[in-house]
Amino acid sequence: MFLYKGQVFSGDFILSISVFLLVLVIIIPVFSQLSDQINRKNTQQELETRLLFVSESLVKTGGYPENWNKSSVQTLGLSDDDRLNITKIRLFMEMDYNETKSAMTLEGLDYRLYMTDMNGYNLYTGLSLEPVAYFAVDDTIAQSHLENSSIVWDMYFAGSSLPANSGRNVYTGTKADVFNALAANQSKYKTIIIEEPQLGYDTVDIQGIKDFVKTGGVLIFAGSADMISKNFSMTFLQASEQGVVVGNSDLLNASIGENVVFNNSQWVIANTTFEKLNAIVSSATNQSRCMICSWSYGAGKIYYISDLAAGIGSRNLTSLLLLTGKSIEKGPDLSGQNIVIVTNRHALLNKFDFDIYTAMRFFIWV
Amino acid sequence: MLFSSRKAQASAEFMAYVVMLLVVLLVAAFIAINTTEDVRTESANNDAKRIAYVVASEINMANEIGDGYTRRFFIPEQLKNGENFSLNVASQRITVSWSNANYSLPLTASNITGSPIKGYNTMKNIGGVVVFV
């Protein structure tokens, strides 16, 4: 009896199976890679479209409901009257990150958002625009605002002992010399803070400061107003009075009617007829005298604060002032992400009655 | 006796061959069915999102153009895979819901009267208000 060789498991059959498996091994990874690329492309397109709608809504609308707060917001919008609203931006910054995602219909995604001016400088929720120049002699109460933020600032110090500081550049010397250096450099800054300069207007280059404000700068002046008692459209006099909050302002986080306690006599603005004077804190006994106020000067603005060491209730005045605030940015770092979609939106930001042309960069990723 | 041995051997080998092919077929069918299901789901997702984009774009356009704008557009009755879906416009966003999923987009129009429906929709901007007629 003979056993014949099998007809199935012949050499031909084994060869054909091998070729089939080889082709399969090549095709499957290629197909998989192609599929991944298509999925990636689809995801990218979807993110781009989603970002377009979200950024449009954020920049062009005021959100829902119209006067939303952190607990009532359903759809986020940061605009009012065709301008980004700084109050809404502050609320947005205070919200929980995941809640903002939900309010922007970005569930399942991550985002990062930040705002700059057209020169690339970060924008902040407080009054100051960077870069800031800060002039101080012995009192450095305002310095804490600069130290507690990431704002770019230079220190001009004319006191006896230079305090530790994080100023980008530091200038020291006599009062007049340091102040004049600041006045000479004024074009480099967007905001100048002067605290108790102990200088008269006729002992320094006041024209530099005038030019600074006239061309759109923000001057924040605190303390004895001898230096600005002339040349800045206001009448100052010395008084010893207590104050009361009389106006809403983005500068001071206090309610109308709250008493402001000044421990020392102070300078006040005594203009009674200058209609553009925005009084924030006035004398409790004579409302024509203003202790914290602002007014426009040329294209810029001046804020006068009679005494930074004042108190409101149990709180220090300085803790309620929004001199710098926080950098307008939100969201985690996006480094290492694979698919990131970015858009640049340009919009006007109304901050403290200034219209600032801003660039908002908005990143989203899976 | 010689010939019957030959038949049995050929039959066993044939059965082995058939079994092997059936196994390959089963594996291929399993992969195909899973892939088809994924494609159906993905198709439904994409279609629902497309509907959201279209309706949101129409509403935003009406809001942008302003008073006097009129537009007629169509929303399908079902998704492309035959699934049902629903549309809701509220709180300045549009939400499309289907199966166990939903998809929302924010709108730039805050004043909207009426709602979009499946089928033909006529939409107008009357004095700044987007109205579904």
Report pTM.
0.84
pLDDT of res. A8: 59
Report CB contact under 8 Å: A105, B93: yes
Question: Distance from CA of residue B76 to its chain's centroid?
Answer: 11
pLDDT of res. A194: 96
Q: Is B110 on the interface with A (CB under 8 A)?
A: yes
User: Beta strands A243-245 and A278-283: pairing type?
Assistant: antiparallel
pLDDT of res. A268: 81
pLDDT of res. A346: 84
Distance from CA of A64 to the nearest CA of B (A): 6
pLDDT of res. A246: 92
pLDDT of res. A236: 83
Higher pLDDT residue, B82 or A353? B82
Report CB contact under 8 Å: A61, B92: yes
pLDDT of res. A311: 93
pLDDT of res. A351: 79
Q: Is B105 on the interface with A (CB under 8 A)?
A: yes
Which of chain A's residues have a Cβ under 8 Å away from the Cβ of B56? 53
Mean pLDDT (whole number) for B47-73: 95
Question: Distance from CA of residue B62 to its chain's centroid?
Answer: 26
Per-residue pLDDT of chain A (366 residues; tens, 9 = 90+): 555 555 556 788 788 888 888 988 898 899 889 988 988 888 888 999 999 999 999 999 999 999 999 999 999 999 988 899 999 999 999 999 999 999 999 999 999 999 999 889 999 999 999 999 999 998 999 999 999 999 999 999 999 999 999 999 999 999 999 999 999 999 999 999 999 998 887 888 889 999 999 999 999 999 988 888 877 878 888 888 899 999 877 789 899 999 999 887 788 887 756 667 888 999 998 888 889 999 989 999 999 999 999 999 889 999 999 999 999 999 998 887 777 788 888 888 887 777 889 999 999 998
Question: Distance from CA of residue A282 to its chain's centroid?
Answer: 28
pLDDT of res. B119: 95
Report CB contact under 8 Å: A61, B108: yes
Point out the residue among A50, A57, A66 whose CB comes nearest to the CB of B108. Answer: A57
pLDDT of res. B47: 93
Distance from CA of A68 to the nearest CA of B (A): 12
Report CB contact under 8 Å: A75, B91: yes
Q: Is B88 on the interface with A (CB under 8 A)?
A: no
Q: Is B54 on the interface with A (CB under 8 A)?
A: no
Of all residues in chain A, the one with the smallest CA distance to B17 is A8
Instruction: For B58-81, give one letter per residue: b (16+ CB within 10 A) or e.
Output: bbbbbbeeeeeeeeeeebeeebee
SS3 category, A39: helix
Q: Is B102 on the interface with A (CB under 8 A)?
A: no
Of all residues in chain B, the one with the smallest CA distance to A10 is B13
Mean pLDDT (whole number) for B128-132: 94
The pLDDT of residue B93 is above 90:
yes
Point out the residue among A8, A53, A60 whose CB comes nearest to the CB of B56. Answer: A53
Interface test with B, best of A105, A362, A364 (most B CBs within 10 A): A105
Q: ipTM above 0.95?
A: no
Report CB contact under 8 Å: A7, B110: no
In order of A17, A98, A350, B5, B113, the CA distances from A5 in angstroms are 19, 72, 92, 12, 84
Task: Say if residue A295 is exposed, middle or buried (CB neighbours under 10 Å; 0-12, 13-18, 19+).
Answer: buried
Q: Is B53 on the interface with A (CB under 8 A)?
A: yes
